[in-house]
Structure 1
Amino acid sequence: PAGARWVEIHSGETFDGGQRVTVAAPYEYIPVFRREGAEIGI
């Protein structure tokens, strides 16, 4: 959503929300995004 920032969890690269982005997605590496500031329990 617009107004949020998103972080790709493997690379740490950040993206502004509200836009479409293109990222590499080889078979051995699936990009996973989380909203900046969100905690993910393991």
Structure 2
Amino acid sequence: MDPLDALENQSIYIFREAHRKFKDLAMLWSIGKDSTTLLWLA
């Protein structure tokens, strides 16, 4: 597994843990590249 795959997996894990702990989550989306990437991971 390359470092980028490891970072992606860690990010997905963090999202899943947050969703497990807090059922009513919201994510702001500014249509920028960073928030679009987070939306794609979610």
Give the structure-2-normalised TM-score.
Answer: 0.30
Give the structure-1-normalised TM-score.
Answer: 0.30
Higher helix fraction (1 or 2): 2
